[in-house]
Amino acid sequence: MSYIDDAKRKFDALKDKKDVIILSIESSCDETACAVVKNGREVLSNVVASQIEIHKLYGGVVPEVASRNHILAISECYEKALKEANITQDSLDAIAVTYGAGLMGALLVGINFAKSVAYALNVPLIAVSHVHGHISANYISHQDLTPPFVCLMVSGGHTALLNVEDYCKIKMIGSTVDDSVGECFDKVARVLGLSYPGGPNIDRLAKLGKNNIKFNYHLPLKDTFNFSFSGLKTAVINYVHNIQQKGEEVCTEDVACSFQELVTDELTEKAVKLLEENNAKKLVVAGGVGANSRLREKLELACKKIGVDVYLPVLKYCTDNAAMIGSMAYYYMKNGIGLADLTLTAKPNVDITIG
Ligand code: KG4
Ligand code: ZN
């Protein structure tokens, strides 16, 4: 029997298996990660080899450098994930891998490694969307969480409001028409002279500043569920450059605070609007910017007011990791989707809407 025929038979059989153990691989950007997840919810190991220190030198992720470092790190990551889970390769029911969205070269490292392992072990290969993985970070953070819910997706690559009707029935209601919110945090941080990744640094500095700056800017797309952040980014950059050209000192704390207030207000208001429109009872936050302390605070407060439960991923699962990919792979498998063959390739962009 060919690899794929056997993999298909095994993939279908997994639906009724009591315990399903998936080894997952994530390499879409600047973290090389492998994890072992049982039944979509129990993380047996979660290994992340971060390249942040390497990319800091350049002020952002350099795609070619990321790919090369994934190659250097991935075998060790895989071995560590098995060791920390205290299992051998024979216990693996499937291999899952992020196939997109992300950097082409970086994704290909994880995909080719995953293909080799799946083929060598003769187990199914499950191709998972990175964005869906970010949603699943909440299934491992909150064991009681089940769809339906509204999801606010705020990552380095995506900013969107989603209706998650079921694990694999996800509808995009609105999204950014230009920059993602993470990109905006990182670019504003850069103009303030803060190191990469900028989001956590803005978060930290904002706590020391005041919300006292009026940037020359009006939020667009007021009555929609879409977002636009490039205008705000430009307004902050212009403000900083103007002060510097006058030879005056920029109060980075106040800029960070005023910027962060605007962004977190916008995200909170639109999330609440969708929750009310849908009469929804749960809000789930996904993606790296979900680690932002002010956003978490505002969402918790706003949701309390309207009687909605808010689910925030545990901080280590907010940013990129493989456990979230292993969790989503389990639900793909339960819904009969995601089985890949050995021709699987990377996709820089993927549709969020499925089902
Ligand atoms: O989800 P993620 O790890 O990567 C993508 O899938 O894109 O998100 C990374 C983004 C970066 O832009 C980073 O600056 C931002 O998440 N981030 C934060 C915080 N922690 C990470 N942004 C604001 N506040 C934070 N505390
Ligand atoms: Zn991500």
Query: What is the per-residue pLDDT for 222?
Result: 86
Q: Is the pLDDT of residue 206 over 90?
A: yes
Query: What is the per-residue pLDDT for 217?
Result: 85
Query: What is the per-residue pLDDT for 354?
Result: 97
Within the chain, all domains assigned CATH 3.30.420.40 are found at: 3-138+318-340, 147-314
Query: What is the per-residue pLDDT for 325?
Result: 98
Q: Is the pLDDT of residue 225 over 90?
A: yes
Q: Is the pLDDT of residue 216 over 90?
A: no
The model's pLDDT over 117-134, given as tens digits with 9 standing for 90+, comes to: 999 999 999 999 999 999
Instruction: For ligand 1, say whether the CB of 147 is within 6 Å of any of its atoms.
Output: no
CA distance 233 to 259: 9
Band (218; pLDDT cuts 50, 70, 90) = confident
Class of CATH domain 3-138+318-340? alpha beta
Ion ligand 2: residues, CB within 5 A, are 155, 320
Least confident of 52-61, 167-176, 247-256, 257-266: 52-61
Neighbours of 308 (CB within 10 A): 20
Query: What is the per-residue pLDDT for 220?
Result: 87
Pick from 339, 338, 340, 328: which is nearest to 37 by CA? Answer: 328
Band (88; pLDDT cuts 50, 70, 90) = very high
- Which among 103, 128, 185 is the best mutation to test ligand 1's pocket, defined by most ligand atoms within 8 Å of the CB? 185
Classify domain 147-314 at the CATH topology level: Nucleotidyltransferase; domain 5 (3.30.420)
Which ligand number lies closest to the CA of residue 289?
A: 1
- Which two three-digit tokens encode residue 193? 């002279």
Pick from 40, 255, 28, 296: which is nearest to 154 by CA? Answer: 296
The CA-CA-CA angle for residues 203, 309, 314, to 5°, reads 45
Provide the percentage of residues in the chain whose pLDDT is more than 90.
94
Average pLDDT in the chain? 96
Question: Quick check: 276 and 307 in contact, CB under 8 A?
Answer: no
The model's pLDDT over 274-320, given as tens digits with 9 standing for 90+, comes to: 999 999 999 999 999 999 999 999 999 999 999 999 999 999 999 99
Band (211; pLDDT cuts 50, 70, 90) = very high
Q: Ramachandran region of residue 330, left (φ > 0), alpha (ψ -120 to 50) or beta? A: alpha
CA distance 338 to 55: 32
Instruction: For ligand 1, say whether the CB of 51 is within 6 Å of any of its atoms.
Output: no
Query: What is the per-residue pLDDT for 174?
Result: 97
Ligand 1 centre to CA of 318 (Å) is 8
The model's pLDDT over 170-198, given as tens digits with 9 standing for 90+, comes to: 999 999 999 999 999 999 999 999 998 89
Band (219; pLDDT cuts 50, 70, 90) = confident
Ligand 1 centre to CA of 252 (Å) is 19
CA distance 184 to 330: 33
CA distance 43 to 97: 16
Instruction: For residue 159, give the H/E element and its range.
Output: strand 159-166
